[in-house]
Amino acid sequence: MTAVKLYPPRPDKVYLFGTCLIDMLYPEAGLDAVRLLEREGTEVIFPDDQTCCGQPAYTSGYHTEARAVARAQLDLFPEPWPIIVPSGSCGGMMRTHYPSLFAGTPEEARAREVADRVFELTEFLVHVCHLTLEDRGAPEKVAMHTSCSARREMGLAETGPALLAKLGQVELVEQERASECCGFGGTFAVRHPEVSGAMVEDKSRAIEAAGAERFVTSDCGCLMNIAGRLAHRDSTLEGEHIASYLWRRTS
Amino acid sequence: MSQPVQTYTPQAFHRQAHEALENPQIRANFRKAMDGLMGKRRKAFDDWDLETLRELGANIRLRALSKLPDLLEQLEANCEANGIRVHWAENGEQACELITEICQRHGASSVIKGKSMVSEEMHLNAHLEKAGIDALESDLGEYLVQLNEQTPSHIIMPAIHLNTGEISDIMHERTGTERTTDVDAMTAAARAQLRERFMTADVGVSGVNFAVAETGTLCLVENEGNGRLTTTAPPVHIAVTGIEKVVEHLADVPPLYALLTRSATGQHVTTYFNMISSPRKADEHDGPEEVHLVLVDSGRSRVYQDDELLDTLRCIRCGACMNHCPVYTRVGGHTYGTTYPGPIGAILMPHLMGLEATKDLPSASSLCGACGEVCPVKIPIPDLLVRLRREAVGDGVGNVPGAGVKRSRKEVAAWKSWQWLATHPGAWRGATLVAGSFRALAPSHLGPWTQYRSAPKPAKTSLHTLIKRHRKEKGE
């Protein structure tokens, strides 16, 4: 649980940290995040040298390697603009774990300073942009899966649903045990595939049982996991990153 | 039919997880029980400022731990002044020997036991049996588990893996009780079977929930009255606990108790709350003639040396972390193969058994954070899981026995390559470009991932490239 965060007024410029999963697997989601921010009159700077936040190594226990990769990101955001991350998982890594990862190193102060400027995309759209949306899509029943990192590490259980609630034609359906993990957990999914498989099976069934015609999430790890499970058993239910969903329905 | 006798070990976590996942009865029993417990906890804290209470609980535990050596000495002095004899055991083996000696000194052949996870941790019953002393568990769940020759699958509800039908079968097969689905009838039968033993037992062994240093008081939280009988009916009472259970003041107990019962079972109070401060006094009619307190270290003082791992010792054993754990809920307690299962087990057992035996436990978590979110004393369980993963794959220099046991050259090399790529942006962009160009050739089978899910395909164009195009389109 994070403390109450004081949000700044909407800035003219922001940085986007696109995350490695979006870069490689779901690039449209990253571009849609840019489009949403630009529509709000915010210039988006995408530092070209960004790669990965370092989380996969961090959670696997390889902190030297994680620190080296994280260090390479610290220099990419020299101006005092907010850093927008379209993922609660990577956002949580940067906001909550960078300070401890760099504790006692020469980069500690800079890591803290960067961490303080990190905002998850939906958080920024709700609390800083005060986004209004005009829904142009057809009526649809949608389930939201909020990632565990967004929900617990960043304290953002409400921002995703709050954005979907702004779409007039969208009915947000409640799934059973919505706060339960989908079973991704980074390398957990491959180190404990059976347990992870049982978790994602339950999650995907809960989304289907809620009567959803689509599910949306703000984390591509969860998206890859849940959508992958649904596709594996030939379900027609598809998932989408919330940035793409919002952009698609309002552009 | 009741389940066949089976031994579980942490080394066999994967196999045991597989078996549990394939067992619809186990899956259903745990899902139902954990859903119920989560609901009860949520309701129990409804009217409370939970965050403030958790903060208070965490601070009480942290304060006690910060003064642990002094508080233990104070506890010993005050207990002794009250007439409670205090013994120190460096490990479980020593504690078992101490308890056996006390029993033997009294010519005991029969021991009745209140619920104690520390006694499970040191396999006290087996030790006593070797010395010809029969120990009977009196907590209903522990009693059933003992009848079925199993170990507890949960630290608060030891027989939570069993449903009513299975319990009826066990009681029928082991005690001759009529088969029934009437829970009250089964409870009454167990009560009758136990009652006799309370009266005839030579020694009562119990655990301790809080040991109060300033007063030398042992607090025992329970629902069945078996704890009170265990600690009052037999002529000798031996309380056994880990050294971390000490709190400084009597006033520290109410907040911890409020957190413990609500977090564990959603109860506002338990049926019994016992405060044991001395053996029977001259003018008293009941109570044991002798009370002993056995304080067990078993690796705890080693945990205490490390500023981060120290947080593990805050635990008040409520079990909320397992009730809320999506992994525990699916594989059950026995799968962990350790005395303490679930998240608390995964962060505690490596210290008690070493990482070599328990190396699969810290990784058996998606780091979803549900455990840390509900922990009444705010133990940062996910952070400690990551710390233990780090110890397991590190260079072997660490505060955990067996550090470095999971280090493999292959994996180190893989992470080093990843590091190189992620710190060379040009190469990174090149790699995403190549992956995108050859996406048609991407494997559709990626080992464990594609057992349950379709393989993700690299995008045709990376975000780096998309944004470049986007900038061009905008004429930047």
- pLDDT (tens digit, 9 = 90+) per residue, A102-111? 999 999 999 9
d(CA B344, CA B338) in angstroms, rounded, equals 11
Greater confidence (B396 vs B257) lies with B257
Mutate to test the interface with B, among A51, A85, A101 (most CBs of B within 10 A): A51
Give the per-residue pLDDT at B443. 72
Give dist(CA A234, CA B280) in Å, integer: 70
> Which residues constitute the domain of residue A181?
133-250
B82, B212: one domain: yes
Q: Let me know if residue A201 belongs to a domain.
A: yes
Q: What domain count does chain B have?
A: 2
Which strands, in side-by-side order, build the sheet including B236-242? B84-89, B290-296, B236-242, B203-206, B110-113, B134-137
> B343 in a domain, yes or no?
no
Q: How far apart are CA A206 and CA B99, in angstroms?
A: 51
For range A74-102, the mean pLDDT: 97
Amino acid at B372: G
User: Residue B441: which domain range?
Assistant: 409-473
- Is the CB of A31 less than 8 angstroms away from the CB of B447? no
Instruction: Measure the CA–CA gap between B133 and B145, rounded to whole angstroms.
Output: 19
- pLDDT over threshold 60, residue B76: yes
Boundary residue ending a domain (A111, A127, A143) = A127
Confidence of residue A3 (pLDDT cuts 50, 70, 90): low
Among candidates A31, A181, A229 on the partner chain, residue whose Cβ is nearest the Cβ of B467: A31
Tell me if B366 and A225 make a contact (CB, 8 A cut-off).
no
Q: Does A46 touch chain B (CB under 8 A)?
A: yes
Within this chain, do residues A150 and A62 fall inside the same structural domain, yes or no? no
Residue B446: per-residue pLDDT: 74
Three-class secondary structure of residue A1 per DSSP: coil
Minimum Cα–Cα distance from B469: chain A residue: A31
**Which of B 14-43 lie inside 8 A of A, CB atoms?**
14, 17-18, 21
pLDDT for B435? 83
Task: Give the ipTM of the model, two decimals please.
Answer: 0.96
- Residue A216 host element (H or E): strand A214-217
- Looking at residue A224, its pLDDT comes to 97
Partners of residue B455 in chain A, C-beta under 8 Å: 228
Q: Judge whether B438 is closer than 8 Å to chain A, CB to CB.
A: no
pLDDT at A130 over 80: yes
Give the whole-angstrom CA distance, residue B158 versus residue B151.
8
Q: Does A152 touch chain B (CB under 8 A)?
A: yes
Between residues B432 and A32, the one the model is more confident about: A32
Q: Does a structural domain hold residue B152?
A: yes
Cα separation, B329 vs B29, in Å, equals 9
Report the pLDDT averaged over residues B193-221: 97
Tell which residue, B66, B311, B55, B52, has the closest CA to residue B213. Answer: B66
Asked if residue B2 has pLDDT above 60, the reply is no
Query: Per the structure, how many domains does chain A have?
Result: 2
Among residues B301, B333, B358, the one where a domain terminates is: B301
pTM across the whole model? 0.96
Whether A7 has its CB under 8 Å from any CB of chain B: the answer is: no
* Cβ atoms B244, B127 nearer than 8 A: no
Buried b (16+ CB within 10 A) or exposed e, A92-121: bbbbbbbbebbeeeebeebbeebbebbbbb
**Residues A152, A218 within the same domain:** yes
Residue A4 lies in a domain: no
- The average pLDDT across B107-112 equals 98
Query: Of A87, A103, A127, which marks where a domain is finished?
Result: A127
User: What's the pLDDT at A151?
Assistant: 97
Alpha carbon of B253: minimum distance to chain A alpha carbons (Å): 25
Strand order through the sheet with A43-45: A43-45, A13-16, A83-85, A118-120
Q: In this structure, are B285 and B422 located in the same domain?
A: no
Q: Do A196 and A166 belong together in one domain?
A: yes
Which of these, B279, B257, B238, B229, lies nearest to B95 by C-alpha position?
B238
Half-sphere exposure for B350 (CA within 13 Å, toward CB) = 34
Indicate yes or no: CB of B373 within 8 angstroms of CB of A1: yes
| A:82-101 residues touching chain B, CB 8 A cutoff | none
Mean pLDDT to the nearest integer, B110-122: 97
pLDDT of residue A1: 45
Residues A95 and A148 reside in one and the same domain: no
Mean pLDDT value across residues B75-90: 98
Strand, helix or coil for residue B87 = strand
Tokens of A7: 């949000």
Least confident among A52-56, A101-105, A183-187, B442-446: B442-446
How far apart CA B248 and CA B213 sit, in angstroms, is 5
B293 & B421 share domain:
no
Mean pLDDT value of segment B344-348: 98
High-pLDDT (> 90) share of chain B, %? 91
User: Which of B52, B53, B454, B463 to substitute to test the interface with A, most A CBs within 10 Å?
Assistant: B463
In a domain, B348, yes or no: no
Residue numbers in B near A22 (CB within 8 A): 463
B-chain residues within 8 Å CB-CB of A104? Answer: none
Sorted by sequence, the CB contacts under 8 Å of residue B387 that are 6+ apart come out as B308, B309
Question: What tens digit of pLDDT does each residue of B276-314 get?
Answer: 999 999 999 889 999 999 999 999 999 999 999 999 999
- Top-confidence residue, A3 or B327: B327
- Give the Cα separation of B23 and A196 in Å (integer): 16
* CB-CB under 8 Å, B452 with A232: yes
**B422:A232 CB<8 A:** no
- Across the range A59-80, mean pLDDT stands at 97
- Give the mutation candidate from A37, A194, A244, A247 for the B interface (greatest B CB count, under 10 A): A194
3-state helix, strand, coil in chain B (%, to 5): 55, 10, 35
pLDDT > 80? residue B1 = no
Spatial neighbors of B74 by CB under 8 A, at least 6 apart, are B213, B214
Are residues B85 and B206 part of one domain? Answer: yes
Residue pLDDT, tens place only, A140-180: 999 999 999 999 999 999 999 999 999 999 999 999 999 99
Is the confidence at residue A56, as pLDDT, over 60?
yes
Residue A223: give its domain's CATH number. Answer: 3.40.50.11810
Judge if A195 and A153 occupy the same domain: yes
pLDDT confidence of residue B6: 77
| φ and ψ at residue B205, rounded to 5 degrees | -115, 130
Residues B163 and A27: their CA atoms lie apart, in Å, by 49
CA distance B213 to B244: 12
> Distance (Å, rounded) from C-alpha B253 to C-alpha B440?
64
Q: Show which of A82, A110, A127 is a domain's final residue.
A: A127
Average pLDDT over residues A117-131: 97
Identify the pLDDT of residue B4: 52
Average pLDDT score, chain B: 95
Nearest CB among A34, A57, A153 relative to B418 is that of A57
Instruction: Give chain A's mean pLDDT.
Output: 96
Chain A CA closest to residue B447: A190
Q: Tell me if chain A has a CB within 8 Å of the CB of B98.
A: no
In tens, the pLDDT along B381-392 reads 999 999 999 999
Contact B370 A180 (CB under 8 A): yes
